[in-house]
Amino acid sequence: MLTNFFTIALRNLLKHKIFSIINIAGLAIGMAAALLIFQYVRFELSYDKFEAHAADIYRIQMDRYNEGKLSTRWAAGTAGIGPVVKDAFPEVTSLARLYDWRGVMSYQDKEFREENMYFANDGFLPMFSSATTQGSITGALSNVNTAVLTTSAARKYFGSENPIGKNLLLNKKEPFTVTAVVPDPPANTHLKFNILLSWPTWVKWVGDPMTTQWGWDGFFAYIQLRPGADPHQLEKKIPAVIQAKWGEEMKKSKEGIVVHLQSLGNIHLSPNYMLEAEANGDGKAVKFLSIIALFIIAIAWINYINLSTARSIERAKEVGIRKTLGSIRRDLIGQFLFESFLINSFAVILALLLILACLPIFNAVAGQSLNLSMLSTASFWSMLIGIFLVGTVLSGLYPAFVLSSFKPIAVLKGRLATTSHGSLLRQTLVIGQFAASVLLMVGTFTVYRQLNYMQHQDLGVQITQTLVLKGPRVMDSTYDNKLTGFRDEVLRVPGVNSISASTEVPGHKVGWNAGGIKEVGADATKARQYRVIGVDYDFATAFGMHFLAGRNFSRDFRSDTGAVLFNESAVKNMGFNKPEDVLNKRIDFWGKQYTIVGVVSNHHQESLRESYDAHIFRLIPDANTYYSLKLTGSRDSWPATITAVKTQYKSFFPGNPFDYFFLDDRFAEQYKADQQFGETFGIFAGLAIFVSCLGLLGLAAFVTNQRTKEIGIRKIAGASVGNILSLLTRDFMRPVLLSFLIAIPLTWYALEKWLDNYAFRISLTPLLFIGPALLILAIALLTVTTQTLKAANTNPARSLRTE
């Protein structure tokens, strides 16, 4: 029986090549697209889940409140929170603490700037990484001045030498003895480190109390719970402990702390909190791409259902014959499901070939690093088999039921009426397909408009023509003089217009968060948190910042060492409305007093996803994090300038690697994920529309063919080609137009949700919908017209004779 099913299915496929190609190509494109997206989604969802104790590990995420209002949300919370929670609750079996540290690490003549380096307590390695390649994790971080390296870091410094027991020098000063080497963290972890420095070293530097207090943020705390312990119950018990420990102190300044336990596996797709170890993935993008994947595959399945049921009349005779020969309905359902199985099998093969061919393109567009090794993973194959089986049954079942229900004699005598029921279903499915296409197309346009908007807004600071050098970490007591000398020499380099030193440059969140700042004399409850940027005298001018009131720091005022600048948001944060109102006001900043001498406009420190922060600019003329050089001339001339600057840097700051970046490039990197999302979204939206049109083409070809006789009669009755064309086209365009009505409110809602991600966003206008809708309409019209035009031009005498 199966051989017979196979034979007839194969011959049917070969006989109706166009339909077969549409079905198989549509399904294959749908499958390949869905599989690629699902692999990306699976990777995003796999973050940190590989850890042996992932289910029991939670990060303590901390929110700070001022007068009951949420002020800041931290990934790395206050110093004391970890030990307080660990000590208070027996269900917390261990605590891992991390503190981000940067510096220049060296071994003999090898020196590298390390930016993925943390102080880690001895609870960290057992919780996160049980394996070592060299040394032992037991006690590896228990003593002062010890370090654990990853395999790559060990190779970088020691080559093939055994690193255990050897010393690395931090900033050419502090030695760290290597106690263990651990494997490199995989790509799907949010905690990517190269070097771990022992926590006791940190305690030695800052003193134990500094690692237990409640006002100093930036400390990652991960806790492991006893298996079976309820994190929600624990979360509910923590406020009482915080209250008992710090309640009185916090009450004085009307501050508050609320902590949440973030499951390790959920961190990567959570929102970005302050001081994340790395930028998190975009949960909404993952969700949107998953929806696209489902849309594409569903559109392909709909094509199959539509074309199979549309072609049912052709298959009706066979059904009638088989029934008269003794076939029961179940056999026929089996046969048509088998055909669906066969078509889906061909589509699977084609989909695999498409994946092989398109993987590099997908990786380039989506910024992924999927490789062929995914073909050897169980998850890939289970996904493929899942799509295959669901597709076979879902797309095969309805046609199978329709076809197997035909009355044999009626169909054999050619009395099969085309049911309005079947055509209604097809129209409904076409409406669904095009509604999805409209959503994707408008979505693509909106994503691009938003991206374009973000990239072309005035940032409030000049970031072009700016070369940023990373400041030296290896320094001595002569640093101030060296900086002056370096500044003078650099200004002599042709092509350098200005140089300014700062603790931050635009392009990422300001790391220095200072709480407890208030106007001198104000009540303690007025204390607020601000993001602080240390700048020299020339920073505001070099970056083109706009003064709303007052003035810039000036070397002419010796008192400016005690001066600060506010931005507009900081003015509001302090409770003032107009910039002028804060001029010459004095503020309390961690026990010292500063005078506000100027107010600048808000600038976009980060991408336009983020709203303006309250910034205080403090005068730190010898800031050593970044030196920003404003360059003249074109990019072509810059390599020579950079070489000259490097020579000076190396001469003034020996022992420091010369690292630099262009500020506009760095700023644009913030949009890389959005750009990739936009491109991925656009390509898959295009594919979805293509597959929809394939289906429409098939349907148009079939239906116009079916209406040959009607067209002939109409032409004999006097209808022109134009009349026929409009008659046929109208019928096809109706569901497409109807789909717009359904899609527009849904799309509006979905896009509003997506745009909510952005602090600065475009507003949705009817124009955003009209353009894509017209484009889809035009594509659909073109698709249908290729078929209807052919039918309308057929000689009626011939079409009637055919009938």
Partner 1 sequence: MIKITELQKTYRTEEVETIALNKLSFEVKEGEFVSVMGPSGCGKSTLLNILGLLDDPDGGSFLFNGIEVAHFNERKRADLRKRNIGFVFQSFNLIDELTVFENVELPLIYLGVKGPERKQRVEKVLDKMQIMHRRNHYPQQLSGGQQQRVAVARAVVNNPKLILADEPTGNLDSSNGNEVMTLLTDLNEQGTTIIMVTHSEHDSRYSHRIIRMLDGQTVTENILI
Do residues 126 and 94 touch, judged by C-beta distance below 8 A? yes
Q: Could you count the other beta carbons within 10 Å of the beta carbon of residue 115?
A: 12
* Span near partner 1 by CB under 8 A; candidates 125-133, 222-230, 316-324, 416-424: 316-324
- Provide the token pair at 559: 């008192």
- Provide the token pair at 626: 């970044």
Window 614 to 673, contacts with partner 1 (CB under 8 A): none
Query: How many positions of this chain bind partner 1 (CB under 8 A)?
Result: 26
CB nearer partner 1, residue 166 or residue 407: 407
Q: Which of 11, 204, 672, 734 binds partner 1 (CB under 8 A)?
A: 11
State the binding string over 12-51 for partner 1 (x if CB under 8 A, else -).
x--x------------------------------------
Do residues 80 and 214 touch, judged by C-beta distance below 8 A? yes
Q: Which of 252, 413, 709, 753 binds partner 1 (CB under 8 A)?
A: 413
DSSP annotation of 274 reads B
Of 330, 346, 343, 299, the closest CA to residue 403 belongs to 330
Q: Could you count the other beta carbons within 10 Å of the beta carbon of residue 161?
A: 11
Q: Which of 52, 187, 240, 328 binds partner 1 (CB under 8 A)?
A: 328
3-class secondary structure, 468:
strand
Please report how close the Cβ of residue 794 comes to partner 1 at its closest, in angstroms. 22
Q: Could you count the other beta carbons within 10 Å of the beta carbon of residue 673?
A: 16
Q: Residue 68 — left, alpha, or beta (φ > 0 → left; ψ -120 to 50 → alpha)?
A: left
State the binding string over 270-309 for partner 1 (x if CB under 8 A, else -).
----------------------------------------
CB nearer partner 1, residue 49 or residue 407: 407
Please report how close the Cβ of residue 12 comes to partner 1 at its closest, in angstroms. 6
Specify the DSSP element, H or E, that contains 725. Answer: helix 721-755
CB nearer partner 1, residue 280 or residue 308: 308
Please report how close the Cβ of residue 749 comes to partner 1 at its closest, in angstroms. 42
Specify the DSSP element, H or E, that contains 9. Answer: helix 2-15
The phi and psi torsions of 640 (rounded to 5 degrees) equal -65, -40
CB nearer partner 1, residue 321 or residue 424: 321
Q: Give the span between the Cα atoms of 263 and 769, in whole angstroms.
A: 40
Please report how close the Cβ of residue 436 comes to partner 1 at its closest, in angstroms. 34
Q: Which of 6, 7, 575, 651 binds partner 1 (CB under 8 A)?
A: 7
Q: Which of 54, 412, 673, 746 binds partner 1 (CB under 8 A)?
A: 412
* Span near partner 1 by CB under 8 A; candidates 327-335, 387-395, 532-540, 770-778: 327-335
State the binding string over 414-433 for partner 1 (x if CB under 8 A, else -).
x-------------------
- Provide the token pair at 355: 């994946």
Q: Which amino acid is at 446?
A: T
Please report how close the Cβ of residue 17 comes to partner 1 at its closest, in angstroms. 14
CB nearer partner 1, residue 21 or residue 321: 321
- Cα pseudo-dihedral 259, 262, 263, 269, rounded to 10: 180
* Span near partner 1 by CB under 8 A; candidates 71-79, 103-111, 116-124, 407-415: 407-415
Of 96, 177, 98, 184, the closest CA to residue 133 belongs to 184
407 binds partner 1 (CB under 8 A): yes
Q: Which of 73, 260, 329, 551 binds partner 1 (CB under 8 A)?
A: 329
1 binds partner 1 (CB under 8 A): yes
Please report how close the Cβ of residue 312 comes to partner 1 at its closest, in angstroms. 15
- Provide the token pair at 526: 């007025």
Q: Give the span between the Cα atoms of 736 and 433, in whole angstroms.
A: 9
Q: Could you count the other beta carbons within 10 Å of the beta carbon of residue 599?
A: 24
CB nearer partner 1, residue 389 or residue 409: 409
Q: Which of 8, 55, 258, 397 binds partner 1 (CB under 8 A)?
A: 8
CB nearer partner 1, residue 407 or residue 526: 407
* Span near partner 1 by CB under 8 A; candidates 25-33, 319-327, 357-365, 472-480: 319-327
CB nearer partner 1, residue 49 or residue 329: 329
Specify the DSSP element, H or E, that contains 128. Answer: helix 124-128
Do residues 288 and 754 touch, judged by C-beta distance below 8 A? yes
Please report how close the Cβ of residue 750 comes to partner 1 at its closest, in angstroms. 43
3-class secondary structure, 765:
coil
Q: Which of 163, 320, 495, 550 binds partner 1 (CB under 8 A)?
A: 320
* Span near partner 1 by CB under 8 A; candidates 345-353, 401-409, 470-478, 570-578: 401-409
Please report how close the Cβ of residue 767 comes to partner 1 at its closest, in angstroms. 49
Q: Which amino acid is at 109?
A: D
The phi and psi torsions of 411 (rounded to 5 degrees) equal -75, -35
Do residues 148 and 179 touch, judged by C-beta distance below 8 A? yes
DSSP annotation of 265 reads G
CB nearer partner 1, residue 8 or residue 258: 8
CA distances from 238 to 62, 258, 447 (A): 12, 9, 41
Window 567 to 606, contacts with partner 1 (CB under 8 A): none
Q: Which of 63, 235, 331, 731 binds partner 1 (CB under 8 A)?
A: 331
Half-sphere exposure of 761 (CA within 13 A, CB side): 16
Please report how close the Cβ of residue 726 comes to partner 1 at its closest, in angstroms. 32
The phi and psi torsions of 659 (rounded to 5 degrees) equal -115, 140
311 binds partner 1 (CB under 8 A): no
In sequence order, which residues have a C-beta less than 8 Å from that of residue 228 and are 6 or more positions away?
A: none
Please report how close the Cβ of residue 787 comes to partner 1 at its closest, in angstroms. 24
**Cα angle, residue 508 at apex, residues 290 and 630 outer, rounded to 5°:** 130
Q: Could you count the other beta carbons within 10 Å of the beta carbon of residue 77?
A: 29
Q: Which of 42, 172, 317, 666 binds partner 1 (CB under 8 A)?
A: 317
Of 229, 374, 351, 242, the closest CA to residue 300 belongs to 351
* Span near partner 1 by CB under 8 A; candidates 372-380, 406-414, 585-593, 733-741: 406-414
In sequence order, which residues have a C-beta less than 8 Å from that of residue 558 and are 6 or more positions away?
A: none
Angle between helices 766-792 and 672-706 (to 10 degrees): 30
774 binds partner 1 (CB under 8 A): no
* Span near partner 1 by CB under 8 A; candidates 94-102, 317-325, 348-356, 539-547: 317-325
- Provide the token pair at 210: 């500094």
Please report how close the Cβ of residue 769 comes to partner 1 at its closest, in angstroms. 42
Q: Which of 4, 405, 457, 584 binds partner 1 (CB under 8 A)?
A: 4
3-class secondary structure, 660:
strand
Do residues 144 and 128 touch, judged by C-beta distance below 8 A? no
409 binds partner 1 (CB under 8 A): yes
> Which residues of this protein are in contact with partner 1, per CB under 8 A?
1, 4, 7-8, 11-12, 15, 317-318, 320-329, 331, 407-409, 412-414
